[in-house]
Amino acid sequence: MRCTPLTPTQFHALLPYILPRSPAGRKIGDLRTRMNAIFHLASTTLPWRCLPPEHGKPDTVSRYFRRLTHAGLWEKLLEAIKDAGPNHPLREIAPRIFRACRRAIRLRGLKFIALIRRLGFLQALNGPPSKVPDPDLSENLRRNLRLPPPPRATAAHGPYTALLRTLRHLHRRAGGIKHIPRALRLGWS
């Protein structure tokens, strides 16, 4: 995916959501360059250290990305995209935001995955939906499932065994897989 720089309209749509100051209170120099750097790197499979020099220092950009992630930027942007009209500038950059969300999942965890699934933005998941955990499914199973007592007669084991097989399948689906292979994760689009 080739990433073009943000247009002024797209940047102004992002501006209310991003942090304009550092934790020490200093104003951040060029926010647009930093956001372009984040979106550029999110559109590739490269590590932060491979950021081209025109985007700034990799350490600075990655620190800003982590700060935005911990401040809840990606959650706010996903909510804003959901509420935005079809011609809103955030809708134009939604694929870039989804790619950045894939990098943020490691920092935000299962609650972030649950939010992405609830909003229906499966492109923002860091792998195919069948491979990524589904926290809502596991919570619904735990809350709503009442197992019947095991049967005493051996002839009635068939339906009970089928129920246990179904439960095992749902449990695996709710938990995802422990390690998504790199080729699958990077090939997911």
pLDDT digits over 100-142, tens only? 999 999 899 889 998 998 999 989 998 888 788 877 776 666 6
3-state secondary structure of 108: helix
**Nearest CA among 72, 69, 71, 74 for reference residue 93:** 74
Measured between alpha carbons, how far is 90 from 86 in angstroms, rounded to an integer? 9
Q: What residue spans define the domains of the chain?
A: 1-125, 127-189
Residue 30: pLDDT over 90: no
> ∠ at Cα 16 (29, 75), nearest 5°?
110
Residue 155: pLDDT over 60: no
pLDDT at res. 94: 95
pTM over 0.85: no
Q: What is the DSSP letter of 7?
A: P
Mean pLDDT of 9-14: 94
Asked if residue 136 lies in contact with residue 144, where contact means CB atoms within 8 angstroms, the answer is no
Residue 144: pLDDT over 80: no
